[in-house]
Structure 1
Amino acid sequence: MLRVSNTLLANNMCRYIQNNLQRSAKTQEHSATGKTINRPSDNPSEISHLMAINATLMGNEQYLRNIQDGLGYLNQSDTALDTVGKTLQDAKVLALQGANDTLTQEDRQAIAEQIDKQIDALVDLANSSLGGKYLFAGTQNGMPPFMRKDDKIYYRGNTDLVQREILFGSSYAVVAPGVEDAGSANNGVFGKLTANTIEDPPGSGQIWTEVSGGPLDVLKNLRDQLRAGDTAGINAALGQLDTAHDEILTHRVAVGARTRHLEAVQEQLADQETKLKERLVDIQGADIAKLTIEAAENQLVHQASLMTAANLLNVSLLQYLK
């Protein structure tokens, strides 16, 4: 006859109690984290799917940050372009006044001085910044890119546009071009680069390139015509102001289109994030009500196991003598 020893009973009872404690610990962990998968061993078949979703969510979070940063650049650029357009409209009003034959040359000189101040205002707008980065300096945007010196406009940035990656492999410019290269078919917001350069300050190694065309040249021409009292030249400058204003409007339209694009992608990523998080809950979300019941059941089993163990293992020499 097979005899069941006390050692075997004790070992089996300890194993049962230990297993129950492990189940209780896992149930409490699931309840505390709200997740049924906290490590790969919890559900090996679903862990690869879970990791893929989390990787996508992390990537989308970075894209959303990039979009938010890009929208800041675009909104600030639009504000600067709007002010440039208003400055040109104000200059047109002054030009219409200056074209009036009833004005004296002294009056035109006064208007010319106002136009000259507007040139300074445009240079300030060309040096608009956001968070210490200058909008129209290209990617070399750590220092003010435009300078007025000896009545000429100089530039020390580059023509590479600041871009942000908003989807995998898709980067978009988030600023308008401050200037374009001399051979470009299009004008930048403030004109094109020329072949003329200066070093300022002398000996610093800082090279500035002269800028031509654009609204700054138009205002300088208008100012010179007012100073000269050339009514025909002033009328011609009016047409140039309209052309410059149309070019600024074209840049604003491009900025607006990019803004809408980024906002559309932002909405798409936000919607995708919601769906992915719902999928995460489906995969690893814990049923708290069910876990609460399981915890109570495990506690009852544990108490019963302890009581049973106490009775079974309560042996002494007198029981053997019986």
Structure 2
Amino acid sequence: MNRIATPFMFAQGVDVMLKKQLELSRTELQLADGKRIQRPSDDAAASVQLLDLKESRARLDQFQRNADAAAARLSQEETALEGIGNLLQRVRELTVQGNNDALSREDRAAIATEIRQHLEGFVQLANTRDANGEYIFAGYRTDRPPLSHDGVGNFSYSGDNGQRTVKVGDTREIALGDPGTIFMDIPAAAGGTTDLGAVLYRIADNYAAGNPDPDGLTDLDTAMGRILETRAAVGARMNAIDEQKTANEAFALAVEQVRSTLEDLDYAEAVSRFNQQLTALQASQQSFLKIQGLSLFNYLS
């Protein structure tokens, strides 16, 4: 009877030791990397949640990258519009002077020269490119200069009315810029519409000929109003980006807290469990040694 029971007890002792060793090894792995879940089977429900949280975090990270890119592009647009606004303000001051009846032909010619310099500056700013080399006032046609001048007062816009958008949140999209149509189709004081380049060219042309420009101030004020409205819209978008980034950061923090609760190891509990498992393993080893001793005794008897 003992010869039958002893091999069974021997095998059972080995199984117990292997099980205790496996439990101890898993705890050692947890302590090594700080993760409670080493494989999906450790906690299937939590593993599924962790996958969802990982996707959420990746999406939030993409939103933040989109927001940073949008903010950078809008900042460039704001800088360009500010420059255009500043040069229009200077041209307005020059127009007030140029319409003064006391000015001589030579005085107006000098004013015309400066306005033409500002006209060149306007065309350059209207054809501003972003860090990727794309024209920011071209709508969807970002690979070509949107504004061109034939040299005799005719300005053409080769872009379109498109506004590219980018997602900065689950339910929020932000326009990356404004098409160059903001410089075109401006209501003219003389009736109909005109464009900003044509206004500047006409004022300079009149002054170069020694003549005042009675509609100059009105057309400039209308154009400046258009620029200010666009700058306000750009500023509102930049504020919206800041608000969304703050919301994304708060959501990302919440996601991280949930992930930590599900995945991160409670070190105090793990160390305590490790010590218990180590004690249990040592006890099973002692029991195994006794079984080995009993087996030898039975063999000798």
Which stretches in structure 1 are left out of the alignment for 5+ residues?
A: 180-187, 194-211
Partner residue, 2:299:
320
Task: Between the two structures, name the one with larger relative contact order (CA 8 Å, sep ≥ 6).
Answer: 2
Letter in 2 for 1:144: P
Q: State yes or no: 1:124 paired with 2:124.
A: yes
Query: What is the identity, as a one-letter code, of the residue corresponding to 2:168?
Result: I
Q: Which residues in structure 2 correspond to 1:88-237 (within 5 Å)?
A: 88-131=88-131, 132-151=133-152, 152-168=154-170, 170-179=172-181, 188=182, 190-192=183-185, 213-231=194-212, 233=213, 235-237=214-216
TM-score w.r.t. length of structure 1:
0.83
Q: 1:69 to 1:317 in 2, by over 3 A?
A: closer
Q: 1:286 to 1:321 in 2, by over 3 A?
A: closer
**Counterpart Cα distance in 2 of 1:102 and 1:311:** 121
- Pick closer, same or farther for the CA change 1:308–1:254 going to 2, 3 Å: same
Q: Which amino acid aligns with 1:86?
A: N
User: Which position in structure 1 is the counterpart of 2:189?
Assistant: none
**Aligned 8 A contact 2:3 2:298 in 1:** no
Contact 2:2-2:298 within 8 A present in 1 as well: no
Query: Which residue of structure 1 aligns with residue 82 of structure 2?
Result: 82
Q: Which residue in 2 is equivalent to 1:272?
A: 251
- Cα deviations across residues 252-283 of structure 1 (Å, max 9, x unaligned)? 11111111122212111111111121122222
Matched to 2:148, the amino acid is: M
Equivalent position SS for 1:313:
helix
Residue 68 of structure 2 aligns with an amino acid whose one-letter code is Q
State the partner residue of 2:55.
Answer: 55
Q: 1:120 corresponds to which letter in structure 2?
A: E
For the residues of structure 2 that align with 1:38 and 1:128, how far apart are their CA atoms? 53
Aligned length: 293
Identity of paired residues, percent?
27
1:14-29 to structure 2, matched below 5 A, reads: 14-29=14-29
Checking the alignment, whether the CA contact within 8 Å between 2:74 and 2:238 is kept in structure 1 is yes
Partner SS, residue 108 of structure 2: helix
Paired position in structure 2 for 1:293: 272
C-alpha distance in 2 between matches for 1:294 and 1:317: 35
- Any unmatched runs of 5+ in structure 2? 187-192
CA 15–81 in structure 1, closer or farther in 2 if over 3 Å, else same: same
State the SS of the aligned residue for 1:137.
coil
Of 249, 256, 261 in structure 1, the residue corresponding to residue 240 of structure 2 is: 261
Closer, same or farther: CA 317–73 of 1 in aligned 2, 3 Å: closer
Higher helix share goes to which structure?
A: 2
**Structure whose residues are more often strand by fraction:** 1
**The 10-residue stretch of structure 1 (23-32 or 80-89) with the greater mean CA deviation from structure 2:** 23-32
Structure 2 residue matching 1:92: 3-state secondary structure: helix
Does structure 1 residue 308 correspond to structure 2 residue 287?
yes
Q: Measure the CA separation in 2 of the matches of 1:115 and 1:317.
A: 111
- Cα distance, 1:67 vs. partner? 1.3
Which residue number in structure 2 is paired with residue 206 of structure 1?
none
